[in-house]
Structure 1
């Protein structure tokens, strides 16, 4: 029997299980760069306007820290920089996909059942990697075709598409290696996301420093240094390919030398007796949610700091561009262009906070599917108490992260204009104004979990649609009824005078209805659902 026997069957199984999630992240990450190119063509039709934007915003240290460097003032160069952070998301999606189909399967016991059949030693890891590699390459090719269709040069479009694809390939392999190191999927995700964080930090430090050499230590830095639309450096593509081969050479031997269910790194034994924190369902929920909440909080603090630091420069760079002022206003801006930029940015933060809420809600489904919820509920723990413990984090988590992004934005923006006492509470309020809309999407995930648990991952599809409406709706001038499908369309702009609290109350009530229906449905249905 070959070491790869059964790889094709496993790959088809992965494609079947990810038939919704996989196309969604490929489509979303393909459409966004194309939309950026279209918006730059519309907003900066002249070289003078693009040069002013580059000088005022694109080369601002805060913007470079978040998005990466800009090479020139062409529409292609601006698009490549604007899509820089999307490559972080590509890497994150790729590593999570591989871990879900390797270590998560092993932790749940399904890998052992499959291993008892005619299955090669390398089949499981190879199938997960091949599917993720194929998705990444498809994303890159579709992105290149879409960018070229907008009128951008084909060579630069291909360079940008391949850079995004190879970021996915590298971090898919990082995920495959991380899955061999720990006994749990959570530990593997922690290692792989930590590597992604280090890569982002190296890129950030290199791009904002005088010499820039740390960027050459990061796959994210390599993606920028391909220099799409600015005299492409094709040889840089060899670096992620070489790193992928090196990581695979390490991961494959380890995958067959360790025991099934074990990891290379030894597991730390827990205490003989549980502490007070774990004495009830709320303590257990805290243990399950504290890691993601901490990670999201750090990310939102960084996002708020970057957004606040870049706001003043963003306002100066678009002054006098009537088209951009109009679009920014429609996206949710205030009278001042800097505050328009902050309003848009905090709206994006609200979408991200909704992602945290959906993730926290679906943790309940993960606990149930893994068989851990049933033993807890077989004790004296009531279903209502168990669900309420998780709902604390589903509902309060978005409040925490949006408060942090508002505080960080208010502090850095206030420092830049010399008005910290005035801007800090305003930006905190603007951040918290996004909470009800985030609650609606999180509440929808709770409703699906309680009523139709098998369909609960569809909450991610709803979030993806909302993101597309938010990113493309105003730029493409879509019909208002389409924009109204997003709860974030109804969020008032609290940075300008005359806003009403009524939409916030209505969104909160809607989120409460979703949670209540999900709560009641969960109390009546069977556990587990077959």
Structure 2
């Protein structure tokens, strides 16, 4: 290569070297999730009547379609697509955006790009290398999903169409991340914008499926037109096992080409280390709150806290608004009620208790995602050198790290409360029991806290023990808890394996709560968090 692309091959090899752990973990986790879901279909829905029954409920329940997809039939492959394909595309999107930002904007923020740029490296080499690696990772992901589904007995064409759809979604979001990386000056802001794009794509797909057209048979449907506006919608429009529309893949390929050209054009118009939207200068004098480590931690975390809080509140309002619409359907269908009962932790409770407990389990995982992201911010502060500057003052290590823990934990507690209030306000008003429903939901939300804090303790322990790989291992632990915890039964995970996840030990409703699991998880969270603080105090800062 020459000119603007000189050095692309070597930079791609460097990126692969850096991602030798993270990308395989993402790929294998996504493939394993799809394999679990596919293998569980016969156990969940053993007869044609069972499948038709659950799909009839789904097409009449927008809330379920938001989390699943528009059903296309009752074969094993079609039920797998209905149950898990959109979520696999979501995982591919997060894998791709994080990798592209890591090898472009993060390299500029840390100064690595400037050092590399001082050698014989072309202007577009870094971005090209990042895209080559991420596109290659998505091709590998698509192939493995296809091989796994085909190996499980599914039709070969449909299996590889499903894999190609997932890989195409990941590639499309990689292209979006390539453009986003040119806009902001910080990697955190770029990751936030890219993550918002992935979430928006999933939401658009969900709304398009929820308000699609039901066919005459009463249990299959076609997505509404907004599905064509989302990369995850394109994945579903391929319709694996229901026609295998390979031509749809031309859309993500064209999108990749257009967005890559835009990213290259933007790269040529800015300086290394700068974004097209420069950071706004702060006030000439800092507020007195920044004189304390706690005030600084809040200043650094407030954008993350507010962004996640809005997401949680919106999700809660959605759940509250659909509660009455699904009440009658759930009360008359044992298949869906049983599935929700599994998500809620079992117990055979009143139908709405089961529904809200299942939704709160999902909210608990979202809050855990916020807490992990907030706590891992300390690793970014350490690698950037900002932590060293703070610790050079009279601020102690435990005070600095503890401040971030306090802000993140308080944010998690507040978000669980916000979820209870947002659901309770809407549903409580509809049943004329505002205070009672809000109080009950607050109790249900509080049950998620010990499991959420256990993941927080894991993040702190890994940060203190293995800081260089703490980010990847922590997110892997989060994904594993998600797969094995509230959704483990949907993916056919054995009960003994599900016990690994702290979310598998949460009682369904406050009335079922016993002290033992709550005390044990709280003790584990405190032990892991304390170990992380001690280990961080004893080790050197690692850039």
Query: Partners in 2 of 1:512 and 1:64 — Cα distance?
Result: 38
Cα deviation, 1:390-430, whole Å, max 9, x if unaligned, reads 01133223222333334444455556777554433222222
- Asked if 1:441 is matched to 2:443, the reply is no
Aligned residue runs from structure 1 range 116-131, under 5 A: 116-131=118-133
Pairwise CA distance, 1:260: 1.2
Cα deviation, 1:423-462, whole Å, max 9, x if unaligned, reads 3322222222111111112112112223442342322233
- Which stretch of structure 1 is more off in the superposition, 467-476 or 89-98? 467-476
Q: Report if aligned partners of 2:37, 2:83 keep a CA contact under 8 Å in 1.
A: yes
Pairwise CA distance, 1:173: 1.0
Q: Which residue number corresponds to residue 137 of structure 2?
A: 135
Cα deviation, 1:231-252, whole Å, max 9, x if unaligned, reads 2322211111111110011111
Pairwise CA distance, 1:222: 2.0
Q: Pick from 463, 475, 478: which aligns with 2:478?
A: 463
Q: Pick from 486, 495, 499: which aligns with 2:513?
A: 499
Q: Which residue number corresponds to residue 103 of structure 1?
A: 105
Q: Report if aligned partners of 2:5, 2:123 keep a CA contact under 8 Å in 1.
A: yes
Q: Pick from 504, 510, 518: which aligns with 2:524?
A: 510
Query: Partners in 1 of 2:253 and 2:489 — Cα distance?
Result: 37
- Which stretch of structure 1 is more off in the superposition, 134-143 or 193-202? 193-202
Secondary structure at the counterpart of residue 257 of structure 2: helix
Query: Partners in 1 of 2:483 and 2:65 — Cα distance?
Result: 24
- Specify whether residues 413 and 163 from structure 1 end up closer, same or farther in structure 2 by C-alpha distance, changes over 3 A only: farther
- Specify whether residues 295 and 144 from structure 1 end up closer, same or farther in structure 2 by C-alpha distance, changes over 3 A only: farther
Q: How many residues align?
A: 526
Q: Which residue number corresponds to residue 349 of structure 1?
A: 363
Query: Partners in 1 of 2:269 and 2:12 — Cα distance?
Result: 23
Q: Pick from 147, 150, 153: which aligns with 2:152?
A: 150
Per the normalisation by structure 2, the TM-score is: 0.88
Secondary structure at the counterpart of residue 182 of structure 2: helix
Query: Partners in 1 of 2:340 and 2:92 — Cα distance?
Result: 31
Q: Report if aligned partners of 1:28, 1:468 keep a CA contact under 8 Å in 2.
A: no
Query: Partners in 2 of 1:414 and 1:144 — Cα distance?
Result: 46
- Specify whether residues 27 and 525 from structure 1 end up closer, same or farther in structure 2 by C-alpha distance, changes over 3 A only: same
Report the aligned-residue RMSD: 2.8
Pairwise CA distance, 1:197: 4.2
Secondary structure at the counterpart of residue 297 of structure 2: helix
Per the normalisation by structure 1, the TM-score is: 0.90
- Which stretch of structure 1 is more off in the superposition, 127-136 or 71-80? 71-80
Query: Partners in 1 of 2:31 and 2:493 — Cα distance?
Result: 20
Q: Pick from 429, 439, 448: which aligns with 1:425?
A: 439
Q: Report if aligned partners of 1:331, 1:474 keep a CA contact under 8 Å in 2.
A: no
Aligned residue runs from structure 1 range 70-469, under 5 A: 70-83=71-84, 84-209=86-211, 212-307=224-319, 309=322, 312=327, 315-316=330-331, 318-319=333-334, 324=338, 328=342, 331-411=345-425, 414=428, 420-457=434-471, 458-469=473-484
Pairwise CA distance, 1:8: 2.4
- Specify whether residues 27 and 397 from structure 1 end up closer, same or farther in structure 2 by C-alpha distance, changes over 3 A only: farther
- Specify whether residues 146 and 202 from structure 1 end up closer, same or farther in structure 2 by C-alpha distance, changes over 3 A only: same
Q: Report if aligned partners of 1:318, 1:337 keep a CA contact under 8 Å in 2.
A: no
Secondary structure at the counterpart of residue 180 of structure 1: coil
Q: Report if aligned partners of 2:420, 2:442 keep a CA contact under 8 Å in 1.
A: yes
Q: Which residue number corresponds to residue 489 of structure 1?
A: 504
Q: Report if aligned partners of 1:351, 1:467 keep a CA contact under 8 Å in 2.
A: yes
Query: Partners in 2 of 1:248 and 1:325 — Cα distance?
Result: 42
Q: Report if aligned partners of 1:56, 1:313 keep a CA contact under 8 Å in 2.
A: no
Q: Which residue number corresponds to residue 221 of structure 2?
A: none
- Specify whether residues 219 and 317 from structure 1 end up closer, same or farther in structure 2 by C-alpha distance, changes over 3 A only: farther
Pairwise CA distance, 1:369: 1.0
Structure 2: unaligned runs, 5 residues or longer = 214-223
Pairwise CA distance, 1:6: 2.2
Structure 1: unaligned runs, 5 residues or longer = none
Cα deviation, 1:63-122, whole Å, max 9, x if unaligned, reads 223444222343333322322233233212211210111001101101011111222222
Q: Report if aligned partners of 2:345, 2:508 keep a CA contact under 8 Å in 1.
A: no
Secondary structure at the counterpart of residue 492 of structure 1: coil
Secondary structure at the counterpart of residue 16 of structure 2: helix
Q: Report if aligned partners of 1:57, 1:314 keep a CA contact under 8 Å in 2.
A: no
Q: Report if aligned partners of 2:345, 2:506 keep a CA contact under 8 Å in 1.
A: no
Cα deviation, 1:175-221, whole Å, max 9, x if unaligned, reads 11111122221232233234334434443444444783333222222
- Which stretch of structure 1 is more off in the superposition, 44-53 or 152-161? 152-161
- Specify whether residues 341 and 382 from structure 1 end up closer, same or farther in structure 2 by C-alpha distance, changes over 3 A only: same
Q: Report if aligned partners of 1:437, 1:487 keep a CA contact under 8 Å in 2.
A: yes
Query: Partners in 2 of 1:202 and 1:329 — Cα distance?
Result: 24
- Specify whether residues 330 and 374 from structure 1 end up closer, same or farther in structure 2 by C-alpha distance, changes over 3 A only: closer
Secondary structure at the counterpart of residue 3 of structure 1: helix
Q: Report if aligned partners of 1:53, 1:317 keep a CA contact under 8 Å in 2.
A: no
Q: Which residue number corresponds to residue 219 of structure 2?
A: none
Cα deviation, 1:12-59, whole Å, max 9, x if unaligned, reads 222222222212221222222232222222221222221111111244
